[in-house]
Amino acid sequence: MRANRTFEIGTGLFVLLGFAALVFLTTQLPSSGLKLGGMRAGYRVTAEFGNIGQLKVGAPVSMAGVPIGDVVGIGIDPQRARALVTLRIDARFNQIPDDSDASIDTEGLLGAQYVAIGAGGSETYLRNGSRIELTQDAIVLESLVNKLFASFASKPSDSGSGSGAGAAGGAASSAGSASSEATGAAHKGRAAPKGGADK
């Protein structure tokens, strides 16, 4: 009886540890928007996008592949009707040119989205409250697939119209040749009596 009791307690502890590990891993995913620990030091900059795709709060911000911060806020600019993304940059990365660009990229083909910073060439740097003016929207996979299907659907109609135009051109060419032959025959017929009279 005591052995069964010990086995049940061990099994329960194992299940609890498994759930705790699952919760911890979930909070560390970039797309979850959850992070354990307090607020880290750094400065905040904003960037506007026409489409942010599936970008989430907590997504990483990187530069040349190196993580330099994370996304701390996503909202809408009411005046321009564009997505307003707030980025927190670690304080040690304090020499990012203020003419740098920001783009929303994807980790792999179907991975989580993140913000990538491309360094500019200005001698002045981003600071707390700065805005990144040069941005590139997220690439939405569904839109690309729809455009691909649309291009495939339009090809048969284009080829059909091209064939019709070619057939019409061929018919016009044949008609022109026949007209030329008829004109040549008529000239020959008129020239024959004149030759007979000279004889």
Segment 31-88, tens digit of pLDDT:
444 555 555 789 999 999 999 998 999 999 999 999 999 999 999 999 999 999 999 9
| pTM for the predicted model, two decimal places | 0.58
Asked if 58 and 32 touch (Cβ cutoff 8 Å), the reply is: yes
> What Rg, from alpha-carbon coordinates, does the chain have?
36
pLDDT score at 29? 52
Return the higher-pLDDT residue of 165 and 40: 40
Asked if 102 and 89 touch (Cβ cutoff 8 Å), the reply is: no
pLDDT score at 117? 97
Length of the chain: 199
Q: ∠ at Cα 86 (80, 90), nearest 5°?
A: 155
Segment 114-140, tens digit of pLDDT:
999 999 999 999 999 999 999 999 987
pLDDT score at 72? 96
Type of residue found at 161: S
Segment 86-110, tens digit of pLDDT:
999 999 999 999 999 999 999 877 7
Q: Enter the DSSP assignment of 36.
A: S
187 pLDDT higher than 90: no
In 65-156, which ranges are E strands? 66-77, 82-90, 101-106, 113-118, 131-132, 134-136
Distance between CA atoms of 114 and 143, rounded to whole angstroms? 19
